[in-house]
Amino acid sequence: MRTHKKFGEILLQAGVISRPELESALATQATTGLALGKILEDRGLISDRDVIAILSRQFRLPFLENLDEVTVSKEALRLIDCDTAMKLGVVPLGAGKTTAEIAISNPLDFHTLDRLAFKTGRHVRPVLATPTAILRAIKCLYLQEPGQDLPAETRLLVLENQDQYRAPIYSALRQDGYSPSFAGTVEEAVRIVRKDAPRLLLAATDMKMVGSRVVLEQLTQGRVDGGLPVIALTSNQTAEEEAFLLRLGFFDVLHKPLNYIRLRARIERALRFFDQGTALSDQSAVRKNPATINE
């Protein structure tokens, strides 16, 4: 039978947080369902690296800080598909006959470890890495970002820094044949817009320290032609918030948690609208310059 200390107790024993800070975070966890580490990180009490370093010492597990420098074989990648890696927040690192070495951020998540053992048919040897490093590795190993020459007609960009939304959005878009890229900051999104010219953006407007107006202005400035539909993703479900975002210039607004049937329909609608608008503009240009007809 497995026995372990609770995560909060480990942090408390390590002197990282105080008892009142832990109790306050646990109260928030009880009402929101968020991971304790995420709550403490959002409050500036710990960093994800602090958490992994403490867990590494506590459980005597290897801590891989430079995950993106590790070479992973195709055999190892075949153990876990991309959707599963995104949903569980894991990366396969090595595959033996009876063992699988897998990067994970929470060694106390025995449910995930059991699922991985069942899925791979191997004994799982966990290697600790931060959630940020794992997400970067997933993008590099599975999505091949940056550098993959994706079909232009399928490129979409998602600006979202909350992992619980990124994985299901990725799965839904991939099932519909799109090639989604992800950005965790506005600055990263602008670089992708300029480099890859995605057809549409899904942009979270409830990211900390970034206002909705700033999000829209910076993203649309990243595209020279301006023909880039941006759909806002917001946790604020009030009619006032929706009206505010539409007045700012967002093409559409979707509320979190997302309904993925509605998401697909709104994306299709936006693409049809902008494609028709581009076609009409092209036809208008031809009418204004008849000489181009015979060229």
pLDDT for 92 beyond 90: yes
CA 132 to chain CA mean position, Å:
10
Tell me the sheet residues that pair with 230. Answer: 201
Work out how many domains the chain is built from and give that number: 2
In the prediction, which pLDDT does 94 show?
A: 92
> Considering the chain, what is the average pLDDT of its residues?
80
* 154 and 138 both lie in a single domain: no
Residue 292 CA to residue 260 CA, distance in Å, equals 43
Residue 238 CA to residue 32 CA, distance in Å, equals 19
pLDDT tens, position by position, 109-162? 888 999 999 999 999 999 999 887 887 788 778 765 543 444 556 789 998 887
Show the tokens assigned to 246.
């539409």
Query: How far are the Cα atoms of 77, 189, 192, 253, 257 from residue 234, in angstroms, in the given order?
Result: 34, 17, 22, 7, 9
Given 142, 158, 181, the domain boundary residue is 142
252 in any annotated domain = yes
Q: What is the DSSP letter of 258?
A: P
* 214 and 265 both lie in a single domain: yes
- For residue 1, name the pLDDT band (cuts at 50, 70, 90): very low
Question: Mapped to the 3 state alphabet, what secondary structure does 27-69 carry?
Answer: HHHHHHCCCHHHHHHHCCCCCHHHHHHHHHHHHCCCECCCHHH
pLDDT tens, position by position, 4-38? 467 788 888 878 888 999 899 889 888 877 777 77
Query: In CATH, what number is assigned to the domain containing residue 153?
Result: 3.40.50.2300
* Nearest CA-CA partner of 124 in 170, 61, 176, 172: 61
Mean pLDDT value across residues 179-192 = 83
Q: Which residue range forms the structural domain that includes residue 72? A: 12-25+39-142
pLDDT tens, position by position, 187-215? 888 888 888 888 899 998 887 656 777 77
Question: Global pTM?
Answer: 0.50
* 180 three-state secondary structure: strand
Residue 19 CA to residue 293 CA, distance in Å, equals 76
* Nearest CA-CA partner of 134 in 102, 188, 184, 90: 90
pLDDT for 85 beyond 90: no
